[in-house]
Structure 1
Amino acid sequence: MLGCDQMLSGARPVTVREKLAELSETADAGLMPDVYGDGPVTVLEKRTAELLGTEAAVFFPTGTMAQQVAIRYGAELTGRRAVALHPLGHQEVHERRAYADLTGLRAVHPTAAPRNPTAAEIMALAEPVGTVVLELPLRDAGFVLPTWPELADACTAARAVGARAHLDGARLWESTPYLGRGLAEIAGLADSTYVSFYKTLGGLSGAALAGTTALAAYARNWRHRYGGQLYQQWPAVLSALTGLDRQLPKIPDYVRHARTVAAALAELPGAVVFPRPPHTNQFRLWLPHPAARLNEAALALAEQEKIWFVAGWRDTETPGQAMTEVVVHAPALEWTARDVVDAGLRLLDRIQG
């Protein structure tokens, strides 16, 4: 099965051999494997900095590590041990609160509303913070984005209270259509930006932290201290470069088609889609059935009809109501709205049959 982010797809996962063949096809023939961060790592860092319009970028094996460094930098630069985080943010929900346990910082929550904090909420923080983190999109609120004016005002407010603005941009690549701005203009609002190379670009792993040359120098030191100075990382780096070449140009198509898919899924009996229309190529879907039965039906559909529809269902606080996350990637572009509805009905037939 795929991970917790489920892709509407009729395609099977690629094998290890196929993935290695893809990397060999796209690699520069003269590019040598890296040794402790040179070679292809340097190529990827330079390209990322150019895309985001920053002075520099530093490759990290994980986004969790990259974000720890960004938050630590803000604390040391400002002398403030608090960081403004959303309670649904990645650091709180998916990183085991490493900012607190490893860095000794504490969180201040500007808002509990299912969205990023507003400028007014940042200005009203009860205590000084070193960094204000804005997650684009806020995944655990339903992949929701602020508007461009809201984002710009929030970053301005962060600086007004003496903090750094940091973008948790793991899914920044797919945020550009909704925000109506390019990557460099979005990253230009903040003091630092983290991006992921595997979530949408299809890389094996890895992330980058982009910002000033001073941040980059600090990040390289702390990457080493955190254990991120690996001897060789060229497979992950090559897959990231392949994603930038092949997937990044297609992302606007994914976002556009996600609106078609979401509207079609909303036609299923009892279905709820949020947000509608989706802000990115990802959104949430609820159906009035237990998660176990939906997951069983999804697996049966895959085995019997070779269609990987949507799975990863989990039960909600409402009995008999389950939720999943839908991610629209390349295979879904071949699906019409009618195809989506038909597959959804066949899924439901397996539950009711």
Structure 2
Amino acid sequence: MTNTNLQRQQLRKQSQVVFPGFHSPSPAEEFRAIAAWCEANNVEHDVYGEGELLSGFEQKIATLLGKPAAVFMPSGVMAQLIAVQMWAEQSALPRFGLHPTSHLIGHEEQAYQALLKLHGVPVGNRLTPMLAADLDAIKQDLACLLVELPIRCAGGQLPSWEQLQALKDKARERDIALHMDGARLWESRAFYGKTYAEIADGFDSVYVSMYKGIGGIAGAVLLGDEKFIANARIWQRRMGGTLVHQSPMVASAAMHFDARLAQMDACLQRAQALAEGLQALPGIRVNPAIPQTNMMHIYFDAHHDKVMAARDKIAEEEKHWVVGTVQAAEVPGWSTTELYVGDNLLALSNAQVLPYFKRLIDDSRSINL
């Protein structure tokens, strides 16, 4: 019998050990922690984006990324739509480039087209990061080029440092503004061994998430020069993003921020060690073979419904939650899942983890649905 989504959520909640991600406190636990942090730091509410907590956090992110100015927004969708809209306005060209698997294409209901009447041009191969040669192959003029670091849909892959610099040079050569989709920029520094400012150097605007990787309730930060951010604040109001109080989102992000960044090196090392162990198991493959961030895509030589049934069985019997959602892969009969390595796996060795993946693939082959 196949479990419903609600039953699966309950199984995950009841699991004593969860492999994917960072520890996730309950709403009550999180709100108590935020309240204590606010009291310890004498936090006052902002009012429509004006306030010491908000301005101080914006400045902290701007300094970290080496950009003159920053603005906090309630969502990354809003931040990136505003960025591409402003670059299109500035160049008087309603066309921009983006990776074929960009969030703007796959997860936002074509908002840039429906709301802003912009034309998105896919650049590069969906299975690999965007390269200078990919931009060279696009003969149309572009208002801006949206570069995702890392490519989530390709298992968290990044271009090499040399490839990234070549892409920056090519965009400058063609006078195309560069915008970074840095939803997972925080996870990228460990691979490059550079500062966040060095990675962001050459990008005219940058978006970073305050919940992906960081663990805030919600929110995003958009960065650029002073004129760009002043204009972004106008667009934020136009889009209904200047909420009366943004302090709950900012406080939750600020509370977690430094500790999460400090864990990223260890998370990458743990992901690489786990990937090596997983690839020794028959019926399992990992992309990329050596993770470049603390995430990877795991492929199973089994139908996705059977893998999820096996996962549910392990959760019921062992109280271990091994993986999240499993989907059909493009190769018939194979399935895939994304595994994000956070502090949950930092506390567990391969000897403690790999037997559950072996059981997952073994059970999935014996289950009849």
Q: Which TM-score bucket, shorter chain as reference?
A: over 0.9
Aligned 1:92-131 pairs, distance under 5 A: 92-131=105-144
Q: 2:32: which partner in 1?
A: 21
Task: Say which of 26, 35, 53 aligns to 2:47.
Answer: 35
SS at match of 1:199: coil
Change in 2 beyond 3 A, CA 1:25/1:140: same
How many angstroms apart in 1 are the aligned matches of 2:24 and 2:305? 23
Deviations, residues 2-44 of structure 1 (Å, cap 9, x unaligned): 7xxxx72598742111111221233343111221112222222
1:289 aligns with 2:302: yes
Task: Say which of 151, 156, 176 aligns to 2:189.
Answer: 176
RMSD between superposed Cα atoms in Å:
1.8
Contact 2:294 2:341 (8 Å CA) reproduced: yes
How many angstroms apart in 2 are the aligned matches of 1:18 and 1:45? 26
Task: Say which of 164, 173, 176 aligns to 1:160.
Answer: 173
Q: 2:94: which partner in 1?
A: 81
Q: 2:239: which partner in 1?
A: 226
Letter in 2 for 1:156: D
SS at match of 2:45: coil
**Larger CA deviation: 270-279 vs 23-32:** 23-32
How many angstroms apart in 2 are the aligned matches of 1:304 and 1:10? 22
Measure how far apart 1:169 and its partner are.
0.4
1:198 aligns with 2:211: yes
Contact 2:22 2:343 (8 Å CA) reproduced: no
**Larger CA deviation: 230-239 vs 217-226:** 230-239
Between the aligned residues of both structures, percent identity stands at: 35
Change in 2 beyond 3 A, CA 1:83/1:244: same
Contact 1:10 1:308 (8 Å CA) reproduced: no
Letter in 2 for 1:38: E
Measure how far apart 1:123 and its partner are.
3.3
How many angstroms apart in 2 are the aligned matches of 1:11 and 1:36? 31
1:54 aligns with 2:67: yes
Measure how far apart 1:152 and its partner are.
1.2
Aligned 1:272-287 pairs, distance under 5 A: 272-287=285-300
Q: 1:304: which partner in 2?
A: 317
How many angstroms apart in 2 are the aligned matches of 1:217 and 1:205? 22
How many angstroms apart in 1 are the aligned matches of 2:159 and 2:21? 32
**Larger CA deviation: 108-117 vs 92-101:** 108-117
Task: Say which of 268, 288, 293 aligns to 2:281.
Answer: 268
Contact 1:86 1:112 (8 Å CA) reproduced: yes
Contact 2:21 2:343 (8 Å CA) reproduced: no
Structure 2: segments with no counterpart, 5+ residues? 1-8, 13-17
Contact 1:132 1:163 (8 Å CA) reproduced: yes
Task: Say which of 50, 54, 68 aligns to 2:81.
Answer: 68
Deviations, residues 149-205 of structure 1 (Å, cap 9, x unaligned): 111111121122121011100000010121221101111121011000111111111
**Larger CA deviation: 264-273 vs 294-303:** 294-303
**Larger CA deviation: 291-300 vs 61-70:** 291-300
How many angstroms apart in 2 are the aligned matches of 1:296 and 1:120? 43
What TM-score does the superposition give when structure 1 sets the normalisation length? Answer: 0.94
1:246 aligns with 2:259: yes
Change in 2 beyond 3 A, CA 1:10/1:110: closer
How many angstroms apart in 1 are the aligned matches of 2:33 and 2:56? 19
Measure how far apart 1:49 and its partner are.
0.6
Deviations, residues 210-262 of structure 1 (Å, cap 9, x unaligned): 11111110110001111111111222111111221221111111111100111
Contact 1:35 1:231 (8 Å CA) reproduced: yes
Letter in 1 for 2:46: D
SS at match of 1:243: helix
Deviations, residues 276-330 of structure 1 (Å, cap 9, x unaligned): 1101000100001111221122223223322221121001233321100000000
Task: Say which of 316, 326, 329 aligns to 1:313.
Answer: 326
Contact 2:100 2:125 (8 Å CA) reproduced: yes
Letter in 1 for 2:25: V
How many angstroms apart in 1 are the aligned matches of 2:136 and 2:358? 48
SS at match of 2:46: coil
SS at match of 1:232: coil
How many angstroms apart in 2 are the aligned matches of 1:93 and 1:11? 25
1:211 aligns with 2:187: no
Letter in 2 for 1:84: G
Measure how far apart 1:267 and its partner are.
2.2
**Larger CA deviation: 56-65 vs 85-94:** 85-94
What TM-score does the superposition give when structure 2 sets the normalisation length? Answer: 0.90
The number of residue pairs the alignment matches comes to: 349
How many angstroms apart in 1 are the aligned matches of 2:329 and 2:269? 28
